[in-house]
Homo-oligomer: A and B are copies of this chain.
Amino acid sequence: MARFNTKPVSGTRDFLPLDVQRRNYVIRIVEGVYQRYGFEPLETPAMERLETLLGKYGEEGDKLIFRVMKRGEKLQRILANQPTENNLADAGLRYDLTVPLARVVAEHRNRLPRFFKRYQIQPVWRADRPAKGRYREFYQCDADIVGSRSPLVEAEVLNAAGEIFHELGFDQPEDFVMRLNHRAILRGLMEVTGVPDGLEGEALVAIDKMDKIGLEGVRRELAQRGIPAEAGEKLLGIMAEAPQDVEACLAWLQEQLAPSEVGRQAVEELIQVVHYAALGPVAPHLKVDPYLARGLSYYTGAIFEVDFPGLSGSGGGGGRYDELVGMFSNQTIPACGFSLGLERVLLVMAEREMFPDQLQGQPQVLVTQFDQERIPHSMGLAHRLREAGFRVDLYPALDRYGRQFKYADERGIRYALLLGPQEQEKGVVAVKDLVSGEQVEVPMEELEEWLAVRV
């Protein structure tokens, strides 16, 4: 007998119904909030031209792109004549949602409004080594505002993110922190602490690891990356002194960065962002954190990240990146966005049991079968309840009630409806509650009402 490997491809997952329902529960909330903030949906193909993808994510990123092979004669010609990794493939799988956004902005510029507020919720693929919590296929949930340099935009994006977490159930001030920083504050801090020109990137990489390796770790890493000890100490010292309170921290930064032109401007910008954001849902969660670096080198202004106190890993993040969206348009197009860390959020919500008991999409009642002759009546009952908006399964065979109840139980359906000759004669439906085991008779004409308050 042939044996098949029926596991999903390494690093990818099958999502069974409960998984999808939980994912959709979160995604629907995210979509709803993005829409109420004026974002509209965009979808792009899974495959992009290889040349669109290569060189956009650094050397390491290029290696992580799944390449799709050419086909037919084209492929055969290449196979016969010095095939290479690159000439065998003509497309790659989408690696993120930002490069496709940049391509779309270049391609459809004249069909898009002056400010393009789009959200995009689609899977991306990366040939990373699979590990706990790291997948080769995972969803990104991005919202970006393209076309404006106003700090208003940061405030809007931050508040949309804050509102998402509120609606997911992270609604207490201590449930999450929105850490806020600015690339030019980091740059300014290096300027005033004497980190040499050209080593700023190295220092950033070290600082970005604060969460993972702690103060001592960062100190060692700074030294290893060639940052002079004095500058390193100053940098760490200044950062350790930063006040907790948002306003106080910004005032303090203004002092520290007095000698740095870019630094002072950046603080001014953050003051505006915080001022504008103050009226929205994110306000109680904001914290200025001069440690925050965020790895991606493409950020040019404000940066931010959602953290759950006491848990590692971020719930999402984003920032301003004014030099990226224009890469295919040969111009500078300012942009600022947020990307929700869906996989992380799902994990935290599962751990904390934050999902509702009844998820959209789960069937609510099972209509059972009595005998062959009464199948049309069962079907009629099922249709009636479906018309009334209930999610109704109809048992698709003739079996004794015990098996039918067991099936309802396997599917997590609480109420089984019985419509045998006795019930028909009395004009009732017998309803078996599979949780309590109780069975009651409900008059046929009151059934919808009876169910409405229970499911």
Listed in ascending order, the chain A residues whose CB lies under 8 Å from chain B are 1-2, 4-9, 12-17, 19-21, 23-24, 31, 35-38, 40-49, 51-52, 63, 66-69, 71-72, 75-76, 79, 83-85, 88-89, 91, 93, 103-104, 106-108, 111-115, 117-118, 123, 125, 127, 137, 145, 147-148, 150, 152-153, 155-156, 159, 163, 275-276, 278-281, 328, 330, 360-363, 366, 375-376, 379-380, 383, 386, 389-398, 403, 406-407, 410-411
Contacts and interface: CB of A to CB of B under 8 A. Distances in A.
Given A383-B159, A386-B163, A37 B392 contact: yes
A107 B36 contact: no
A7 B52 CA distance: 10
Contact of A41 (B72, B145, B361): B361
B38 A21 contact: no
Copy total for this chain: 2
A13 B361 contact: no
Contact of A279 (B31, B44, B279, B379): B379
Given A71-B127, A396-B115, A12 B279 contact: no
Given A6-B328, A42-B15, A148-B397, A155 B379 contact: yes
Contact of A153 (B6, B88, B153, B396): B396
28 contacts: A4-B52, A4-B328, A6-B104, A6-B328, A8-B45, A9-B47, A9-B91, A12-B45, A14-B107, A16-B42, A21-B41, A31-B361, A35-B363, A36-B386, A36-B391, A38-B394, A46-B93, A47-B125, A63-B72, A66-B71, A67-B71, A68-B69, A68-B93, A75-B85, A79-B84, A88-B88, A156-B379, A280-B383
Given A46-B125, A379-B280, A386 B37 contact: yes
Given A14-B107, A152-B396, 18 more contacts: A4-B52, A7-B107, A13-B45, A38-B366, A40-B361, A46-B93, A63-B71, A67-B69, A67-B71, A68-B69, A69-B88, A75-B85, A115-B407, A152-B379, A152-B394, A156-B379, A156-B394, A279-B376
A416 to B, nearest CB: 13
A396 B156 contact: yes
Contacts of A43: 14-15, 19-20, 23
Q: Is the interface of A mostly helix, strand, loop or mixed?
A: mixed
Contacts of A13: 45
A69 B72 contact: no
Contacts of A4: 51-52, 103, 106, 328
A369 to B, nearest CB: 8
A403 to B, nearest CB: 8
B45 A69 contact: no
Contacts of A106: 4, 6
Most chain B C-beta atoms within 10 Å of own C-beta, residue among A13, A31, A150:
A150
